[in-house]
Chains A and B, each alone.
Chain A
Amino acid sequence: MSTQITVGIAQIDSRLGDIEANLEHHLDWIAQAREANVDLLVFPELSLTGYRLLHLTGQMATKPGDSEAVRRLLTATGSMRVVVGLVEEDENGVLYNTVLLLHSGAIAHSHRKLYLPTYGIFQEGRFFGAGKQLSPPVDGLGLLICEDIWHPHLARGLALAGAKILVVSSAGPGHLGSGEVPASQESWEALTRSTALVNTCWVVYCNRVGWEEGSFYPGGSHVVRPCGEIIARAPFLDEHLLITEIDIREVDRLRWRLPLLRAERTDIVGA
């Protein structure tokens, strides 16, 4: 991958339980992103199925290698790298909340969500199995899904294993306070910015928009520089294709003068 890349964040709404409609939506956005010469296009968590599936989860399950929807996406992506979310079924029938990285007609990478929120409005642990391994980054890209970034050792693990861009696909519901932006956004930005900074990585955070059963997703997708600065943010509530140029070498330049990863120690007793 070149060191100067164009990242696209597809901040979309998905129709709950309607893979056919969502697939067409993805194909439209992939076409738009290709026109804009995007190198890496990121869709939200469970983008092909919608998020709050509950007992529809099983009906949405696909084995990515046999999936007609994945085949059509692979045809459409060409040389662009595309991250999409779906319900994956393994050979034992266990369902996972998964993102796939599609590239050059193949599934280049996949990540099964490791932390399944099952509290408050979240019920993932009832319907999904948790992933069992943190897959090493591919071409400097590390994949995480929503709750995964709230457990900082995962981002750290990816950074230590060579990630320079952390891609976070999310379906993070919004809540409001008295501020100009949703209160939920303040938490997310605290998290994405600190994750970028302590790991000296780019963070590409894609959150969805739309409503599901009375709960809204505010969007507010953004890109964070390795120094923790947000350089681009999509609007709240509306679908948006956010396009940002990023320089991967910025990671190396920052790490030369801020060698946090190089200094990481695993030998500290009790830590």
Chain B
Amino acid sequence: MIRKEDVAAHLLLNPELATRVLASFIADAVKTAGADGVVVGLSGGVDSALAAALAARALGPEHVLALLLPYKTSSPESSSDADAVAKQLAVETRTIDISEMIEAYFDHNEQDAGKLRRGNKMARERMGILFDQAKKRRALVLGTSNKTEILLGYSTIFGDNASSINPLGDLYKQQVWQLARHLELPRSVVDKKPSADLWPGQTDEDELGFAYPTADEVLYLMFDRGLSAKEIVARGYDAEAVGKIEELERRNRFKRRLMLIARLSSSAINLDREIPRD
């Protein structure tokens, strides 16, 4: 039987091997697509820093463009941390402020929208810019969503969860931190509280109501090992947190299956005809 105190050890990776494999994923995907490199939105957080570092290692820094896409309320540390990462990796950066685009929509049409809708719009605006910049450079958009946030649905659909390729989608948050430390990314980035920075003072853990290590372990037991919520609680995890995690995972499944097509023929795309993209 797997015990609570042993779960964290199951999430440890061999960081050098994992880094090498993920870098080879990026190199292979760029080559297969016939692209010239990747663009990545650098937020100042650990996920995008790790994705950019893997890409720089895979392709050489000259094939990576880091885009800083701040909004007027974005924390100043976000952009200084993003700069520090770009500098360390020697990748080119470009800053495009999205405030005007966001205001243009809300001020003229939807003055009453709350912070969640505004935050979603920002995430989608950034996605739109990333794909446009990728088109301009014949590049792929590098995804930065990790396994924890994908499973919890802690993302904006067609916003930050949209990408051409995602090297981090099978890494729990602990594993992102482990690889970021291994690659010696700036301490200020690795050690800070995770935040989507969609409004001042926002942190992931406050908004979710549980800590990442708990989420990672509960999701690992649930998703990777197939334990029921009851069996997880019996191992000593907080019942309320387990309940919330289970509910989020179930409620947000739609975000991980992006095209829901109504099947009329017997040759529906992706249902009857699964054609590999590679």
> Do these two chains really belong together in a complex?
yes
Partner of B17, one of A53, A180, A210: A180
Q: Does B28 sit within 8 A of A, measured CB to CB?
A: yes
A69 to B10, CA, bound (A): 46
A54 / chain B contacts, CB cutoff of 8 Å: 274-276
B225 / chain A contacts, CB cutoff of 8 Å: none
Q: How distant is A189 from chain B, measured CB to nearest CB, in Å? A: 16
**B20 contacts A237, C-beta separation under 8 Å:** yes
A178 to B182, CA, bound (A): 13
A216 / chain B contacts, CB cutoff of 8 Å: 21, 24-25
A211 to B165, CA, bound (A): 13
Partner of A16, one of B29, B273, B274, B276: B276
Q: Mark B9-24, 1 if CB is under 8 A from A, else 0.
A: 1001110011011001
Q: How many residues of A contact B (CB 8 A)?
A: 25
**A178 contacts B25, C-beta separation under 8 Å:** no
Chain A positions 162-182 with a Cβ under 8 Å from a chain B Cβ: 174, 176-182
Known: A17-B276, A55-B273, A211-B278. A178 touches B24 (CB 8 A): no
A179 / chain B contacts, CB cutoff of 8 Å: 14
B29 / chain A contacts, CB cutoff of 8 Å: 211
B115 / chain A contacts, CB cutoff of 8 Å: none
**B14 contacts A52, C-beta separation under 8 Å:** no
Known: A55-B273, A178-B9. A213 touches B21 (CB 8 A): no
A216 to B20, CA, bound (A): 12
**A182 contacts B275, C-beta separation under 8 Å:** no
A94 to B274, CA, bound (A): 19
**B276 contacts A52, C-beta separation under 8 Å:** yes
Residue of B nearest to A210 (CB): B28
Partner of A176, one of B18, B273, B278: B18
Q: Does B257 sit within 8 A of A, measured CB to CB?
A: no
A54 to B29, CA, bound (A): 19
**A56 contacts B21, C-beta separation under 8 Å:** no
A110 to B276, CA, bound (A): 27
Chain B positions 225-278 with a Cβ under 8 Å from a chain A Cβ: 273-278
Central interface residue in A176, A182, A218, A236, by most chain B CB within 10 Å: A176
Q: How distant is A16 from chain B, measured CB to nearest CB, in Å? A: 5
Residue of A nearest to B169 (CB): A214
**B276 contacts A237, C-beta separation under 8 Å:** no
Partner of B274, one of A55, A174, A237: A55
**B21 contacts A237, C-beta separation under 8 Å:** yes
**B24 contacts A211, C-beta separation under 8 Å:** yes
28 CB < 8 A contacts A-B: A16-B276, A52-B276, A53-B276, A54-B274, A54-B275, A56-B275, A56-B276, A176-B17, A177-B12, A177-B13, A177-B14, A178-B9, A179-B14, A180-B14, A181-B17, A210-B28, A211-B24, A211-B25, A211-B28, A211-B32, A211-B278, A212-B276, A213-B277, A213-B278, A216-B25, A218-B21, A236-B17, A237-B24
Contact surface of A with B, Cβ cutoff 8 Å? 16-17, 52-56, 123, 174, 176-182, 210-214, 216, 218, 236-237
Contact surface of B with A, Cβ cutoff 8 Å? 9, 12-14, 17-18, 20-21, 24-25, 28-29, 32, 273-278
